[in-house]
Amino acid sequence: MTPKLTIAYFTGRKEPHFEWFWDSLRAQCAGSHPLVEALTVDFYADRRQLIPPGDGRNLAPKPTVWQGPHRLTKADYFAAANARNTAIAAARGDWIAFVDDLSVLAPTWLAAALEVVSGGYVSCGAYRKVKNLRVGGGKSISFDDYPAGHDARWRYGSNERAVPVLDNRWTYGCSLCAPIEAFLRINGYPEACDGMGYEDSVIGGRLERAGYSLRYDQRMMTYESEEGHQQGPVMLRDDPGVSPNDKSHAMIHRYANASTFDQPFGSLRGLRNAIQAGEPWPVPLGPTHEWFTGKPLSELP
């Protein structure tokens, strides 16, 4: 049976605690689920063998100039938009949910995500970053509170249903669920953010402009290890400039009135069609320069 929902888990870490995510997903699927596909996008996929639960796959991020064998930079940079677009192109489902590494799903997560499949909206999941997280049987057993890791949107939500967002930038966080078609309409996550980040916050306005309702759902909750973020090697990221004259603010202005994002590979819909047909990932020829500063990528650390 073709899965309806692809759950994409992302990591660029050597110890991302896959077992936390997979055990929590298995517990909610009772071992397997005919509507669910598990997909990991793993920077180290070529160096370790993993067996995702049920109907699952493990693959490396598509080629990019920011990291991996085709990078133009001297070191590997954070390239979350590239990884997210990899999952969108490779997903077998018609809906996709994103989950950050170092996370365990709350027991209500999958049921809430599957509501999106029947509802057709975009759901922004909740999160809580904690310390000394202990996980057993696919559930959070204990943790120490970490106030800096609290979800600022939490007090506006409900533990019974998804509620309309108060700000279309609420698409940040550790999990998000949406129709694949929603991302195809806006041409994916902006890879102009790679090397920096911030790709998750700028998509909300484009999704609304494409006609999708954005909701926030406390039930689609993840607990995430704060200490795990400190492990090396760390992907570099840089937001050049001084606020408000920095790259992240320039991203807001660059796409303020845009309905879609421009991408180095062209059309995400075309890329997805090619990958689904069994074609290989294209090798990028650019960009060769960082768009905000104009500096050649080969001169970056």
Q: What confidence category does residue 33 fall into, taking pLDDT thresholds of 50, 70 and 90?
A: confident
Residue 244 has pLDDT above 80, yes or no: yes
**Average of per-residue pLDDT values in the chain:** 94
The residue written with tokens 């605690």 in the block is: 17
Query: What number is the average pLDDT over the span 190-216?
Result: 96
Is 70 exceeded by the pLDDT of residue 51?
Answer: no
Distance CA 187, CA 199 (A): 13
In total, the chain counts a number of residues equal to 301
pLDDT at position 180 is 97
Residues 6+ apart with CB under 8 A from 70: 63, 64, 283, 284
Residue boundaries of the structural domains of the chain: 5-299
Output the pLDDT for position 29. Answer: 85
Binned at pLDDT 50, 70 and 90, residue 32 comes out as low
Residue 1: the pLDDT is: 59
Parallel, antiparallel or unpaired: strands 214-225 and 103-105: antiparallel
pLDDT score of 47 more than 90? no
The span from the CA of 85 to the CA of 232, in Å, is 25
Nearest to 206 by CA among 222, 189, 223, 225: 189
Tell me what the mean pLDDT of segment 187-195 comes to: 97
Q: Considering all CA atoms of the chain, what is the largest pairwise distance in Å, rounded to the nearest integer?
A: 51
Q: What global pTM score does this model have?
A: 0.96
Query: For position 53, what pLDDT does the model report?
Result: 60
Q: What CATH code would you report for 5-299?
A: 3.90.550.10
Distance of alpha carbon 216 from the chain centroid: 16
Task: Give per-residue pLDDT as tens, 58-115.
Answer: 999 999 999 999 999 999 999 999 999 999 999 999 999 999 999 999 999 999 999 9
Q: Are 250 and 222 in contact (CB under 8 A)?
A: no
For 191-203, what is the mean pLDDT?
A: 95
- Nearest CA to 235 among 49, 39, 16, 57? 16
* pLDDT score for 212: 97
Strand partners for 217: 125
Q: Mean pLDDT across the stretch 256-266?
A: 93
Dihedral (CA of 153, 208, 261, 183) sign: positive
- The two structure tokens encoding residue 227: 């200490």
